[in-house]
Amino acid sequence: MKADIHPEYHVVNVALTDGSVVQMRTTWGKEGDTLTLDIDPSAHPAWTGGSQRLMDTGGRVSRFKKKFEGFGF
In this prediction, residue 33 has a pLDDT band, given cuts at 50, 70 and 90, of very high
Nearest to 48 by CA among 14, 13, 18: 18
How confident is the model at residue 40, as a pLDDT? 82
Contact between 40 and 46 (Cβ < 8 Å): no
Residue 25 pLDDT greater than 90, yes or no: yes
Residue 51 pLDDT greater than 60, yes or no: no
Lowest mean pLDDT among 6-10, 25-29, 42-46: 42-46
Residue 71 pLDDT greater than 60, yes or no: yes
How confident is the model at residue 54, as a pLDDT? 58
Residue 10 pLDDT greater than 70, yes or no: yes
